[in-house]
């Protein structure tokens, strides 16, 4: 069954514009430079480089005692802590996992690791330490395992994109505890089930679940109390509906 729901046009326009702005800021950090970065962050970045097996895109991350002119990062000009990390469009040789060290950048606001060929394995629990994180994009990789329930421990997260991976299992109920409105894209994975409690707090701005292996009743995704929800895409799954339990806000 294919179904895409769009309503509340003004909210949709606002959210779409906001996400475009966020993406433009967080999606092209290679031109943003740090004149100087905190020594702890400098050491952490070198650990991340080693953990990713020294990809070419960050070849200029050299052991020179500073982060000046390093690509793919930006820093807070006052604290000199790394606030954005954006690495993408490269080949990881040999294959590697997301380094646990990514969780050791305490002021990180935006984390993007996307289109990294041979980046595989589960999403590390260390990401839950990034309490200032608002933007997380780990799409177009080869990540496996479940959608981690510990992502609900990120109190400021408002953009989550894990699409185009090989994630399996259940969409955890804990994601519904994240702040609203929230952009969530879990499309193009191998997910098979939506946890019953997932819909209890559901009020995402955008929820993309298309092209998974989801089955069962999806009626609980459509409830009149969803104030912020503008887009729900559950197409190309094997979901069922009890339309007596479906309610869509005007």
Q: Does 179 reside within a domain?
A: yes
Question: Do β-strands 231-233 and 73-75 pair in parallel, antiparallel, or remain unpaired?
Answer: unpaired
**For residue 72, what are the domain limits?**
4-239
Handedness of CA 15, 13, 165, 84 (dihedral sign): negative
Between 178 and 122, residue with greater pLDDT? 122
pLDDT at 224: 61
Q: Does 226 reside within a domain?
A: yes
Q: Does 197 reside within a domain?
A: yes
pLDDT band at 36 (very low <50, low <70, confident <90, very high): confident
* Number of domains making up the chain: 1
Phi/psi of residue 128, each to 5°? -65, -15
Q: Does 28 reside within a domain?
A: yes
Q: Which helix (H) or strand (E) segment is 215 a member of?
A: strand 215-217
Q: Does 98 reside within a domain?
A: yes
pLDDT at 9: 41
pLDDT in tens, 131-166: 999 999 999 999 999 999 999 999 999 999 999 999
Rounded to whole angstroms, how far apart are CA atoms 171 and 19? 23
Rounded to whole angstroms, how far apart are CA atoms 89 and 92? 10
Q: Which residues contact 92 (CB under 8 A, 6 or more apart)?
A: 52, 53, 55, 116, 117, 118, 119
Rounded to whole angstroms, how far apart are CA atoms 143 and 116? 10
Rounded to whole angstroms, how far apart are CA atoms 186 and 193? 12
Max avg pLDDT among 35-39, 155-159, 214-218? 155-159
pLDDT at 177: 86
Q: Does 250 reside within a domain?
A: no
Rounded to whole angstroms, how far apart are CA atoms 213 and 205? 23
Proportion of the chain in helix, strand, coil states, percent, rounded to 5: 25, 30, 45
Q: Does 159 reside within a domain?
A: yes
Rounded to whole angstroms, how far apart are CA atoms 85 and 138? 12
Whole-number average pLDDT of the chain: 86
CATH of the domain at 79: 3.80.10.10
Nearest C-alpha neighbor of 103 from the set 47, 146, 54:
47
pLDDT at 75: 95
pLDDT at 247: 64
What three-state secondary structure class fits 1? Answer: coil
pLDDT at 65: 82
Residue 231's DSSP bridge partners are 6, 206
Q: Does 248 reside within a domain?
A: no
């Amino acid at each position: 069954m294919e179904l895409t729901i769009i309503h509340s046009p003004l909210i949709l326009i606002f959210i779409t514009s906001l996400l475009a702005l966020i993406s433009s800021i967080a999606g092209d950090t290679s031109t943003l430079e740090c004149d100087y970065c905190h020594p702890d962050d400098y050491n952490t970045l070198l650990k991340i480089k080693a953990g990713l097996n020294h990809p070419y895109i960050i070849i200029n991350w050299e052991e020179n005692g500073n982060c000046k002119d390093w690509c793919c990062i930006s820093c807070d000009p006052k604290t000199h802590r790394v606030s954005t990390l954006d690495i993408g469009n490269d080949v990881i040789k040999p294959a590697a996992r997301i380094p646990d060290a990514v969780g050791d950048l305490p002021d990180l606001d935006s984390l993007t690791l996307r289109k990294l060929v041979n980046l595989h394995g589960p999403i590390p629990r260390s990401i839950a330490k990034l309490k200032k994180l608002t933007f997380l994009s780990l799409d177009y990789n080869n990540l496996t395992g479940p959608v981690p329930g510990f992502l609900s421990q990120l109190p400021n997260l408002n953009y989550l994109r894990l699409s185009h991976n090989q994630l399996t299992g259940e969409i955890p109920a804990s994601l519904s505890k994240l702040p609203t409105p929230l952009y969530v894209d879990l499309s193009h994975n191998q997910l098979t089930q939506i946890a019953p409690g997932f819909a209890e707090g559901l009020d995402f701005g955008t929820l993309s679940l298309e092209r998974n292996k989801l089955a069962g009743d999806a009626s609980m995704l459509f409830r009149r109390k969803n104030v912020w929800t503008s887009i729900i895409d559950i197409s190309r799954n094997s979901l069922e509906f009890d339309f007596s339990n479906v309610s869509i806000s005007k």
